Structure 1
Amino acid sequence: MTEADGTATTETAPEPQGGRTIAVLGEMLELGDDSLEAHRNVGKMAGELGIDIVIGVGGDMVKQMVLYAGAHGVEQLAMVADNKTAADFLEKILQPGDKVLMKASRGGMLWQIAQQLTGQPVTGF
């Protein structure tokens, strides 16, 4: 954090206490020949970052992300077919303090999940 004059301060935002980190992963489109490796790398990264729960939304490429997340330490994994099912699942498992991260191409429309969870329109996409 910096003061108005640009000098640094020692004050930092408090880290959220408790809660799990949940990654909702959808297909990343238009990657061509690199698609399989890219999807696997995202799954691997989820494990390396200590994500607690990975929820895959979609088909075979997403399944690769979820499998690689499991192989790299994520213990709680789920696969669902569509955004509605993902949002319904999240509504059942979310606890106070949980953080939800989402990654997919725009075509995956994961914003629909955020919209269902918050009850608010999601714009800017």
Structure 2
Amino acid sequence: AAAAIECGLAPAEVASALTGYTAASANRMDVRTRPDGLTVINDSYNANPDSMRAGIDALAHAASTRTGTESWAVLGQMAELGEDAVGEHTGIGAYLAERGIDRLIVVGHGVNQDALAAAGEDNGIRTRQVDDVDGAVNLLTGAPTHPGDVVLVKASYSDGLWRVAERLHAAVSNSSQAR
């Protein structure tokens, strides 16, 4: 918005354009807040070390604007990193701690996910490792989340973690329809 205004567009024109914005691709920084106050950042379209850090930065920023809440990172692996894969996953675990993320849920069991989970634990993050999407959803829906908590869902596309975000939104819709 600031760049558009600096280029000479009227603020009303910029606001109108942003109001009609839709993501070019699904599952890229889709930020939605459920009726119960839980915010889900679905950035599960892809993952590499830079995009993972950017997603974590977004999570940290969103959580820092709220008091009495927790930040949750639901992460899978960054695929196709080659020989550096384990080291990059370990680095992401350390980065989560640097950014003050409260909780880590690692989805899957493989050398990359194991390295990420170990790094999270080693850096003092409350970490759980689950088998699959069902495990992550069950853990989140059964955990004591609070209005204002923020959840980042991020992994390589092949991990299918967008289903975690979809099911988190569906869970609150289904529970409100049951009332």
1:20-99 to structure 2, matched below 5 A, reads 20-60=70-110, 61-74=112-125, 76-93=126-143, 94-99=145-150
Shift of 1:81: 0.2
Letter of the structure 1 residue corresponding to residue 138 of structure 2: D
Structure 1 Cα separation of the partners of residues 5 and 168 of structure 2: 40
The separation in 2 between residues aligned to 1:81 and 1:108, in whole angstroms, is 12
The aligned amino acid for 1:32 is G
2:160 partner letter: M
Q: Secondary structure at the match of 1:54?
A: strand
**SS state at 1:78 partner:** strand
Q: TM-score, normalised by structure 1?
A: 0.80
Separation in structure 1 between the aligned mates of residue 80 and residue 163 of structure 2, nearest angstrom: 21
Q: Hey, what's the Cα distance between the residues in 2 that align with 1:16 and 1:109?
A: 29
- Whichever structure has more helix as a proportion of its residues is 2
TM-score, normalised with respect to structure 2: 0.57
The percentage of counterpart residues that share the same residue type is: 33
Q: What is the root-mean-square deviation in Å for CA atoms of aligned residues?
A: 2.3
Number of residue pairs the alignment of both structures matches: 113
Structure 1 stretches of 4+ with a deviation exceeding 3 A read none
Which of residues 124, 132, 151 in structure 2 aligns to 1:100?
Answer: 151
Contact 2:153 2:164 (8 Å CA) reproduced: no
Q: CA deviation at 1:58?
A: 0.4
Cα deviation, residue 119, structure 1:
1.5
One-letter amino acid of the counterpart of residue 116, structure 2: M
